[in-house]
Each structure stands twice: as structure tokens, then as C-alpha cells.
Amino acid sequence: MNASSRPAVQRVQPPRAPYRIVNRVMRWLLSSPGRAQRIGRHLLLLHVTGRRTGRRFVLPVAYRENGDGRLLVLTNSGWRANLRGNPEVSVTLLGAHRRAQAQLVEDPDDVAWVYRELIEAVGHAKAGRRMGIRINVDRTPTLAELAEASRRDGLAVIYLDLAR
């Protein structure tokens, strides 16, 4: 596939084997206040219960402040399906375990707006790597291109409202 036939925005699939090890290390680092002070400003542990199995998953995820008191997580991973109909989650933020409510946003148009705002805030040259996507155009992708990527690649947004 040449560059001209690639979509404007694509999901990035990290290699599975190395990430299993990286995620194990991240869970250890983020689980303690002392170890999480530096890396915990950008990463947290999201504790989710499986919809079908009831199994608990602990997932290191990147987050950012949303500006309204909620945290914002971007994902294109399948585990997000566990949040459908079950917004009760918990997080380990800077080593402290807290309850939270998750709002999963999967509507492609809504997801496109969030991605577009973040890409414009960071600049399209840097945004892709920070957001887990590949931007194949030399500009900020359009809302239509981002909505198409959301439909095709399962881009989603999660808002986390931490319990006080």
C-alpha cells in the first residue's frame, strides 16, 4: 500500500509480546505513590470488570485532564466494550486507588470532534504518536477523516469522573 492510498488517519497496533512485558512493568510502577510520581502524571491504571467473565483487568492507560474535572482517555482497544452498560470502574492515579464513573463515547462524529481538538492543540506532527494513531497527511485531518477512522478502527473516548 503506497502513501497515497493510505487513509488520512489509522489506528496504531503496538506489538503484543513486548507490550505484555511493558504493561506488567507499568502496573508495578503505577501501583505505588512513590514509584508513580513521575510517570503517573500521564499514565494511570484503569480497573475494569469483564462484561461476560466478571474477570478484573488492570490496564495502564494514558490520560489527560479534560478541563472540566474529568480525565480523558483515548483508546482503540477492544477492552473498552467492558464499559458498555457498566460505567463503574476504579483507577489507580499517582499510586492512590479511587472509584470512578466511566463514560464511553463511541459515536464517530463525537469522537472525531475530541480527536480534532486534541490534534489542533498539540499540532498534527506530534499528535499521532501521543494519541495512538498514525496521521498520514501533512495537515490536521478533517472531521470526516477522523470520523471514518473511528468507524473503521474503533477509535473511542472515555471520560473518567473520579469519586471525591
Residue-by-residue pLDDT tens, the chain, 164 positions: 445 689 999 988 877 888 889 999 999 999 999 999 888 899 999 999 998 899 999 999 999 999 899 999 999 999 999 999 889 999 999 999 999 999 999 999 999 999 999 999 989 888 888 888 999 999 999 999 999 999 999 999 999 999 76
pLDDT of residue 128: 85
Domain positions in the chain are: 8-162
pLDDT of residue 1: 46
Give residue for cell 472525531: 112
131 vs 120: CA distance, rounded Å: 12
SS3 state of residue 110: helix
Cell of 86: 457498566
- What is the DSSP annotation of 60-77? EEE-EE-SSS-EEEEE--
Give the closest residue to 164 by CA, choosing from 105, 90, 85, 98: 98
Burial 2-20 (b: 16+ CB within 10 A, else e): eeeeebbbbbeeeeeeeee
Which H helix or E strand runs over 162? strand 156-162
Residues facing residue 96 across a β-bridge: 93
Q: Does domain 8-162 have CATH number 2.30.110.10?
A: yes
Provide the whole-model pTM.
0.91
152 vs 47: CA distance, rounded Å: 26
